[in-house]
Amino acid sequence: MDRVAGERRRRRPTKSGGVLSEDAIVECAVRLIGHHGHEALTVRRLGAALGCDPTAIYRYFRGTDDLLLAIADFLIGETLVGYRPGPDWSASLRDLGLRVRDGYLRHPRVAAVAASRVTRRHNEFRAVEIGVSLLLSAGFPPADAVRYYQAFIDTVLAHAALEASFAALAPEVRAADDRSWAETYNSLPEGDYPGISIVRRHLPEGMSGSAFEDVLDMLLESLARRV
């Protein structure tokens, strides 16, 4: 009887003829945020987009914050699709970090609201299990494995979210920011900014690209020296 009730909770018909479920709600919420930003995530707008009474969403989620946790877990789940750790713990962590960055860039507006949350859900459990297991396999004792996993994932999430927030800006805003390294910085007086004057010709290329892989490699090299 409980199983049948659970199935009814997971899949319910909507007014538009679709099927309402936790996955359908999360996917619709991701699209809403992607098009309009996280301010668009209201039960009323979600109900309209799904073709259901807004109150039906409360059968699946306690509120929008509960839904945000599910959205954050959805991003983690996308990251893990097809991922298999290999025998090299450092290479496996690097691959995981790049996958997180790619997922955030696919959903830049969603990343802004997901990076800081602890989802307490299945995909997050899987990611933590993978991360700490890789560090344990490297030879770190349990306390250090936890400590360095936090350092790894916080660094990855922070830089991925920063890159995603830039990607979410309007194209003309991104272009203006990139041009400033060649235009504005090139006009600064040498007497006031001697360091900048020495490196100014390197700024356009060095500052307008992504530092993600450099940061990730420096972190993993540091961990390798601590084993």
Report pLDDT for 141.
98
Report pLDDT for 11.
54
3-state secondary structure the chain: CHHHHHHHHHCEECCCCCEECHHHHHHHHHHHHHHHCHHHCCHHHHHHHHCCCHHHHHHCCCCHHHHHHHHHHHHHHHHHCCCCCCCCHHHHHHHHHHHHHHHHHHCHHHHHHHCCCCCCCHHHHHHHHHHHHHHHHHCCCHHHHHHHHHHHHHHHHHHHHHHHHHHCCCHHHHHHHHHHHHCCHHHCCCCCCHHHHHHHHHHHHHHHCCCHHHHHHHHHHHHHHHC
In the chain, the domains with their CATH numbers are: 1-61 (1.10.10), 62-226 (1.10.357.10)
Report pLDDT for 37.
87
Tokens 């073709």 found at: 51
Report pLDDT for 54.
94
Report pLDDT for 140.
98
100, 215 in Cβ contact below 8 A? no
3-state secondary structure 6-19: HHHHHCEECCCCCE
Report pLDDT for 112.
85
Report pLDDT for 7.
42
**Tens place of pLDDT for every residue, the chain, 227 residues?**
344 344 434 555 555 556 899 999 999 999 999 999 888 899 999 999 999 999 999 999 999 999 999 999 999 999 999 999 999 999 999 999 999 999 999 999 999 888 999 999 999 999 999 999 999 999 999 999 999 999 999 999 999 999 999 999 999 999 999 999 999 999 999 999 999 999 999 999 999 889 999 999 999 999 999 98
Burial of 52 (0-12, 13-18, 19+ CB in 10 A): buried
pTM: 0.88
Report pLDDT for 5.
40
